Amino acid sequence: MASNPVITSNKRPLGRLFSYARTQRRFIWMAITASVLNKIFDLAPPVLIGAAIDVVVKREDSIIAALGVTDVFSQLVWLAGATLLIWGLESVFQYAQAWLWRNLAQTIQHELRLDAYAHIQDLELAYFHEQSSGGLLSILNDDINQLERFLDAGADQLISVMTTALVVSAAFFILAPGVAWMAMAPIPLILWGSFKFQRLLAPRYAHVREQVGLLNGQLANNLSGIATIKSFTTEDYERARIEHVSSDYREANRKAIVLSSAFSPLIRMVIVLGFIATLVYGGHLALEGELPVGVYTVLVFMTQRLLWPLTRLGETFDLYQRAMASTNRVMDLLETPIRIDNGEQSLEPAQVAGAVHFDNITFGYPNRDPILKNFDLKIPAGATVGIVGATGSGKTTLINLLLRFYEPQSGKLSVDETDISKLDLTDLRRAIGLVSQQVFLFHGTVSDNIGYGTFDASAEEIERAATLAEADEFIAQLPQGYQTMVGERGETLSGGQRQRLSIARALLKNPPILIFDEATSAVDNDTEAAIQRSLNRVTRDRTTLIIAHRLSTVRNADFIVVLDKGGIAEQGSHDELIAANGDYARLWRVQTGDIGHLAD
Ligand SMILES: Nc1ncnc2c1ncn2[C@@H]1O[C@H](COP(=O)(O)OP(=O)(O)OP(=O)(O)O)[C@@H](O)[C@H]1O
């Protein structure tokens, strides 16, 4: 499997995320409102402190007195009540914002992961051959988790900074327009710096995400090939390969860290200038009696409240940038077009007779020379066809086309006279049972694995299918019979046992078209004979394609097609092909040990 990184684009990620999260809009607005209110109440304490100083210094002439509370003690009680109320409300909105954002993060990551997974499943098989499964896994896991992390905390932080800037600026211009500009002066510089910083950081984080995809791809590949690594004692070699990709990942992160760590200290230096200016100039005005002491106190606290959170802007932008790099990767995946169109014509499996026609098909895998050229093959409904030929001659390719895993470049493939590209894809695949060369079992019991895809099957039906596939005997000997867990990918079973389970699975599906692709390659002669018997039984009333290297498997077929380099070299029944004395006859003699004729 190639390990190309998933292509990422730089479209506006936040917009893409919001348009994706349309269904959550109401909650997003509620969360934003809660964040804004929480911040507003959070900014009130400096005002309360200012008001308290004002009461103590000015007594009956204080601002609160102007509201009608003239007695000094009553003013303090009034302040205490206001403080309680404001802190209470701050707590309520803090809870609300945390609850809303964190739940939103959970909902969005859940839906995004499901959508991304569903979309990946619908992509054509060729896509999976181009991408590494570890890379895809890192999008489904890591990238979506980055997004969750940002929504958990980063979104609230960004809104807090913006709210603080707005509320404090307004307060400044009302209270002391003369000093306000000093506190505000650093803000444009900080914002300009932040945008510049973001621009520089974005590609570095995109690179980090790409590297993590490659690393995961390599890790997943190695873990699935662990037996090969051990048997070839290539542990050191593989460790070095992982070290290489892991170092690249670390290097990509270092390049991002160099920038992202510098941001907060730089911002702090700009901020401190604004803070000192307010402190000194405001103090001067208060000493001159031009600024009330209470207002001066509020200004100093507010300047601190306004400017210090900006130092955290670095962290927030960091979180934001990481999340946006991830968002782009997830969104690109969701927008990857599905290249195999679903046809509209429905097909009831029960009504399929099973005639298959490869009509003048030309096909080559992407970026490869054509393997099939003007290929013609007509299989009558109900026939059993053996397909044999040298390795790489195109046998499995025929199946890939019939299942529409790939589309032919020209020609028509039809089932019962209907072009399969016009058929509903699910209906087409439901009509075909495939026992593939690579058996895949799922983590679960024997019974689960036989019933996979035929979920409404009863225990009796499952057992009947197992009997037909000559699997019941070995199943009976397993510790828990049909309820024995088979392990991940069926690792606790032998190759032949796995193969027989997959045959049982296909038989249970009872499809009108049945395909065996090297189904007897991993079994001994006795089992092959047993499978042969069951084949004779199950092929009777359906179209069956049997791909085999072992010619004894196809001997009883109605006719046998011998492929050679993507074309048909010979065709006929076993007896006819033996009589023709061509490639088939020669191979038959080799396989049956009749090597006296090898010199032919
Ligand atoms: N996904 C793919 N992408 C590119 N080329 C492929 C792909 N699958 C198969 N091929 C190529 O197409 C040719 C035919 O392969 P195919 O699997 O049809 O052969 P086969 O006759 O089934 O071989 P075998 O008996 O070894 O299973 C081979 O040369 C193979 O390298």
Q: pLDDT tens, position by position, for the chain (600 residues)?
A: 333 334 445 567 777 777 778 888 889 999 999 999 998 888 888 778 878 888 888 777 777 777 777 787 888 888 889 889 999 999 999 999 999 999 998 998 888 889 999 999 888 888 888 877 778 888 888 888 888 888 888 888 888 888 888 888 887 788 777 777 777 777 788 878 877 887 888 889 889 988 988 898 889 888 888 878 887 888 999 999 999 999 999 999 999 899 888 887 888 888 888 788 888 888 888 888 887 887 788 778 777 777 777 777 767 877 888 888 888 888 888 888 888 878 888 888 788 888 999 999 999 988 888 898 889 999 999 899 999 988 888 899 999 999 998 999 999 999 998 899 899 988 899 899 988 878 888 888 999 999 998 888 899 999 999 998 888 888 999 898 999 888 777 777 888 888 888 889 988 988 999 998 887 776 777 777 777 777 777 787 889 999 988 888 888 889 999 998 878 889 999 999 988 888 889 888 888 876 544 444
- What are the CA-CA distances from residue 100 to residues 33, 42, 95, 148, 181 (Å)? 10, 18, 8, 13, 36
The upper half-sphere exposure of residue 582, i.e. CA atoms within 13 Å in the direction of its Cβ, equals 18
Residues of the chain with CATH 3.40.50.300: 356-431+512-525+541-593, 440-510
CATH code reported for the domain at 356-431+512-525+541-593? 3.40.50.300
Q: How far apart are CA 70 and CA 389, in angstroms?
A: 104
**Ligand 1 probe mutation, 129, 362, 365, 553, most atoms within 8 A of CB:** 365
Q: What is the spatial distance between Cα 233 and Cα 74, in angstroms, rounded to a whole number?
A: 85
Classify 13-334 by CATH class: mainly alpha
Output the pTM of the full model.
Answer: 0.76
Measured in angstroms, how far is the CA atom of residue 359 from the centroid of ligand 1? 20
CATH topology of domain 440-510: Rossmann fold (3.40.50)
Tokens encoding 48: 């309360």
CA-wise closest residue to 156 among 230, 92, 105: 105
Ligand 1, atom 16, lies closest to the CA of: 394
Number of H helices, E strands in the chain: 23, 10
Return the ligand 1 atom nearest residue 406 CA: 1
Q: How far is CA 356 from each of CA 38, 380, 401, rounded to the nearest angstrom?
A: 68, 7, 12
| DSSP conformation class of 482 | G
CATH 1.20.1560.10 domain residues, the chain = 13-334
Atom of ligand 1 nearest to the CA of 549: 25
The CA distance from 411 to 420, in Å, is 11
**CB under 6 Å to ligand 1: residues?**
129, 365, 368, 371, 389, 391-397
Structure tokens at 245: 């990709």
What's the 566 CA to ligand 1 centre distance in angstroms?
A: 10
Residues 44, 46, 47, 53: is their CA dihedral positive or negative?
positive
Q: CA-to-CA distance for 360 and 375, rounded, in angstroms?
A: 5
Q: DSSP class of residue 493?
A: S
Residues forming beta bridges with residue 375, ordered by sequence position: 361
